[in-house]
Amino acid sequence: MRPVPYFRVLPIVCGTLLAASLASPESGAPPREKLEPVPLEEYLIYDRVVIEKFLTSQTTLVLIDRQTVTRLNPDDEEPPTQAFFAENEFFEGELDPNLVTDFIAKVRRPSRLETRFNFGVSYRLVSGQEPERPEVSLVPIPAAWPRVGPVQGPPSTVGVLGFSRAGFSRSRAQALVYVGDYRPDGTGAGFLILLRRAGTTWQVLNTEVVWVAQ
């Protein structure tokens, strides 16, 4: 795969972030308690994304939406399709077709995240308007981690982060996941993140910006 700029902003910009869609189950979704739980192997991917993209040495709490997202833009009405990927040419259009197919199939319906994260700081799963009790990740973090995009100063709280299910290539050597960073002031951004397997862990290969709200 040809190298992709670390941060290539695509022309998908939302002017208004619909906070209500984050605070309640998506339209037509089954009750949260009936949602299928996310498989354990996908938490390794979520942990790597949080560590590399969102944590700083000042982070003390990460907020995460308990329900996985099915839309890659707050203004979208439907889950992503093959046409959506073809039109936007994410990662220069060189994604493994089987990886894209698996990702699309996984994000058609929401799933339930559980307290299985392990990225080094306390986190809280948000269900609707009420946060659940904090859980603590046990892996220590270094003094500083890189953060996506410019910030005014390292915040102590990250999120609310909304994760999709992770799609895998047929060999399971690559994974694709979406994460939205929904901030209290109505700003935020959404990212597609491509990872590759490195033994028993995952490494981030590249990131695409799907939307930005300023």
Those residues with Cβ within 8 angstroms of residue 157's Cβ, 6 or more apart along the chain or in another chain = 59, 60, 61, 62, 63
> Which residue is associated with the tokens 């859980």?
135
Model confidence at 108: pLDDT above 70 = yes
pLDDT in tens, 12-31: 444 433 343 443 334 445 55
**Cα-based distances in Å from 194 to 62, 168, 171:** 22, 10, 15
Question: 186's torsion region: left (phi>0), alpha (psi -120 to 50) or beta?
Answer: left
What is the C-alpha separation between 108 and 111, in angstroms, rounded? 10
Sorting pLDDT into bands at 50, 70 and 90, what band is 95?
very high
Structure tokens that stand for 48 in this block? 């790597």
Query: Residue 130, class by beta-carbon neighbours within 10 Å (0-12 exposed, 13-18 middle, 19+ buried)?
Result: exposed
Q: Measure the CA–CA gap between 157 and 31, rounded to whole angstroms.
A: 28
Distance, CA of 116 to CA of 136 (rounded, Å) = 10
From 6-10, 57-61, 128-132, the region with the lowest mean pLDDT: 6-10
Mean pLDDT of 162-182: 97
